[in-house]
């Protein structure tokens, strides 16, 4: 099995049930989903739909900017639905058992009382609430205040 075949994000993008996660947003460019091993409730990953391992060298400037718009909209939406002080955003290039470049967007300090423990029902509910809000924020194109 090559690295792309073993990639859980690629598995999620290709709808492999073994890699299912609650999806909050998806388009041709990226996927936004709740972590099954969260650092805190509401831990979301934003990843390109295509397998890319490098954060900067792996993207054109316009591709990177498009992904950052989604990271921004995701963070804004999370702030509306998860009661936490602050937001932790980290970009990951390799490591953490996944070579697929991605961004972690985590409410609060990013430390769970029980790291890795997830309430699947609550994650699905949050994904369902985030989905229309992320879509709206992206469609608004920055025309929203705050």
Matching residue, tokens 């969260």: 38
In sequence order, what DSSP letters do the residues of 62-105 get, joined into one string?
A: HHHHHHHHHHHHHHHHHHHHS--SSEEEEEE-S-TT--S-EEEE
Write down the CATH superfamily of domain 3-140.
HIT-like (3.30.428.10)
Task: Kindly tell me if the per-residue pLDDT of 113 is higher than 60.
Answer: no
What pLDDT is stored for residue 142 in this prediction? 60
Residues for the chain: how many in total?
A: 146
Is the pTM of the predicted complex or chain greater than 0.75? yes
Residue among 111, 130, 127, 117 nearest 40 (CA): 111
Q: What is the pLDDT of residue 6?
A: 79
Domain boundaries, the chain: 3-140
Provide the CA 102 distance to its chain's centre, in angstroms. Answer: 7
Token representation of residue 124: 């699905």
CA within 13 Å, CB half, 131? 14
Q: Is the separation of the CB atoms in 39 and 111 below 8 Å?
A: yes
pLDDT tens column, 4-43: 557 999 999 999 999 999 999 999 999 999 998 888 889 9
């Amino acid at each position: 099995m090559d690295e792309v075949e073993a990639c859980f994000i690629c598995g999620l993008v290709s709808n492999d049930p073994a890699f299912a996660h609650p999806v909050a947003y998806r388009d041709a460019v990226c996927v936004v989903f709740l972590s099954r091993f969260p650092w805190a409730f509401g831990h979301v990953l934003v990843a390109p739909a295509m397998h890319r391992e490098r954060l900067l060298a792996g993207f054109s400037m316009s591709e990177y900017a498009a992904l950052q718009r989604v990271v921004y909209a995701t963070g804004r939406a999370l702030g509306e639905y998860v009661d936490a002080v602050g937001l932790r955003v980290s970009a990951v290039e390799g490591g953490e058992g996944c070579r697929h470049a991605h961004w972690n967007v985590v409410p609060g300090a990013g430390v769970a009382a029980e790291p890795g423990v997830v309430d699947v029902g609550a994650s699905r509910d949050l994904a369902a609430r985030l989905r229309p809000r992320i879509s709206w924020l992206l469609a608004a194109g920055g025309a929203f205040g705050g």
